[in-house]
Structure 1
Amino acid sequence: MTAPRTVLLTGAAGGLGTLMRELLPPYGYRLRLFDRRPVEGEPDAITAELADTRALREAVRGVDAVIHLAGISLEAGFEEIVRANIEGVHHLYEAAREAGVRRVVFASSNHAVGFTPRPADGSGAIPVGAPRRPDTYYGLSKGFGEDLASLYWDRHGIETVSVRIGSCLPEPASVRMLSIWLSPADCARLLHAALTAPDVGHTVVYGSSANTRLWWDLSSARALGYDPQDDSEPYAEALLAAQGALDPANPGHAHLGGTFCTDPPRWQH
């Protein structure tokens, strides 16, 4: 697939969207921005809810691909999650189908498999085909998004790469994040690979850097042409000294989803 020239970036005002607004254009993309909040410094950005199907149809018109980051990124009430993350992603795919957009990159999450026990070491042992075990309504909605993407590939021929993002921050903030950290630069590399790889159909990949303590298998991401350059290990000594090692008896340490697996869930990606 030739590199798309114009890409709709939903969720452009969010933390990840803000990082990608800076890091994706050097790959040759012209970004069209969409968010429910105004995007600071971007007067041409489209400000609308995902429920605004007219605005979504205008947003996708003439774009080559979509990077869908919009929606609720933490746990919330079931009705809120349904509106933003389930109905919202359906509106997005319907708009893409009507406009003839052939490629979507969907921001899924590690929380779609959050109750998967973490490996005891950095073995990268969790395959992308492991059964989904969502840890929250949020994680449940990401599994729905992956299935919707699969449906729109089989029924309508829209290709999607669903990226189960770990923690995309400038640096990891916890010992758990040493295993799932995705540096912003590597995130841009992964999104570029997802936009340009040929014949992806519907592909699910984990999104992280090449971390020494990696918990999951990056082979499906690497098959797209993703070549991660960063590793969380330089941050390990300070984080371990401040927080201590992960305790397998602690529910927030024992599972892939971290504190999303506690009751009530707590919010560190």
Structure 2
Amino acid sequence: MDIPQRPVLLTGASGALGQMLARELAGRGWKLLLTDRVPFPGTVPEGASFALADLNDGAMLLRLAEGCGTILHFGGVSVEQPFETVIGPNIRGLYHMYEAARREKARMVFASSNHTIGFHERGEVLDDDSYLRPDGYYGLSKAYGELMGRLYWDKHGVESVFLRIGSCTPKPIDDRMLATWFSYGDLLRLVERSTLAPSTGKHGCIVVWGASKNKRMTWWRKDGRQIIGWEPTDSADAHTPELDGKTSFNPVAERYQGGGYCGMDYSRATPAPVAQFDKK
């Protein structure tokens, strides 16, 4: 089994996805440096080390990243929150992580989100170069993160893989997730390939849509998965009988790909029209 030649730093290690990645990757023999602003729940996996750190603390993060060849950046605010809550960990913290990647010549694997494109309508088909249409401050911070990654490639040669994660939960829970569900197993394998692939291609930064092999996933199309050698293998399809039609009944949420995030604090009298340049 292949393992990275240099240690891997995982931020957000105490979150649901971080804990799963920490345990699974450590079990594969990866040398992991784990960090979060709250303690790691339970026992730190064998072969890994954990350090408390806030993403606002740039000096601490630089020390933690010393010698690392990859940064798995899963830290930060992970749901929609007010702007002042998001800006510190998701904007300033991201800058600190890219500075660490620049200094260590490390690859960045960034946990981006489908909420970067949430205000595209569900009838649209998007490629990795479709216009960003974030559906809130959280999605906006992830869109900013992708732009920062491109800056650090163009200016410093830092490679990035942007994982536009759909709905990564143990199992799908509603009708929308029959399209957007992303299994833990598929995420794990995507992180592995994002880390172990020899290159991210000539453009340096690639987007990969984070969804499993769901029949209803017709919204997201071209991306960079072939460059790193990844394809999903799991599927939400077995849950169709129980979840088909289980919606929010909110017309804004059900119109747009971002779902419920689009309806939060929504104040337009009518839904936003699709811009002409978004039509493909």
Q: Would the TM-score normalized by the shorter structure come out above 0.5?
A: yes
Unaligned residue ranges in structure 1 (runs of 5+): none
Q: Which of these residues, 93, 99, 106, is aligned with residue 98 of structure 2?
A: 93
Deviation at 1:239, TM superposition (A): 1.2
Does residue 166 (structure 1) correspond to residue 166 (structure 2)? The answer is yes
Describe the shift of the 1:263–1:54 C-alpha distance in structure 2 as closer, same or farther (beyond 3 A). Answer: closer
Deviation at 1:29, TM superposition (A): 1.8
- Inter-partner Cα distance in structure 1 for 2:256 and 2:224: 22
- Alpha-carbon distance in 2 for matches of 1:239, 1:218: 27
Structure 2-normalised TM-score? 0.86
How much has 1:5 moved relative to structure 2?
A: 4.3
Partner of 2:274: none
Alpha-carbon distance between aligned partners in 2 of 1:217 and 1:23, rounded to the nearest angstrom: 28
For residues 3 and 176 of structure 1, the distance between their equivalents in structure 2, rounded to whole angstroms, comes to 36
Q: Match for residue 277 of structure 2?
A: none
Q: How does 1:60-79 map to 2 (within 5 A)?
A: 60-79=65-84
Matched, 1:202 2:205: yes
Q: Which residue is 2:26 aligned to? A: 25
In 2, Cα distance between the equivalents of 1:32 and 1:118? 39
Aligned to 2:220: 216
Specify the SS of the correspondent of 2:130: coil
- For 2:216 and 2:27, how far apart are their aligned partners in 1? 30
- For the aligned residues, what is the CA RMSD? 2.1
Give the structure 1 partner of residue 36 of structure 2: 35
CA distance in structure 1 between the aligned counterparts of 2:167 and 2:222, rounded to whole angstroms? 15
Given that 1:27 and 1:192 are in contact with CA atoms closer than 8 Å, whether structure 2 keeps it comes out as no
Retained in 2: the 8 A contact 1:119–1:126?
A: no
Give the Cα–Cα distance (whole angstroms) in 2 for the partners of residues 161 and 219 of structure 1: 11
Alignment-mate amino acid for residue 96 of structure 2: H
Q: Paired residues, what number? A: 257
- How far the C-alpha of 1:218 sits from its partner, in A, is 5.4
| Closer/same/farther in 2, CA of residues 263 and 102 from structure 1, 3 Å limit | closer
Q: SS of the counterpart of 1:237?
A: helix
Do 2:68 and 2:106's aligned partners in 1 also have CA atoms closer than 8 Å?
no
Structure 2: runs of 5 or more not aligned: 267-280
- Give 1:113's match in structure 2, choosing from 93, 106, 117: 117
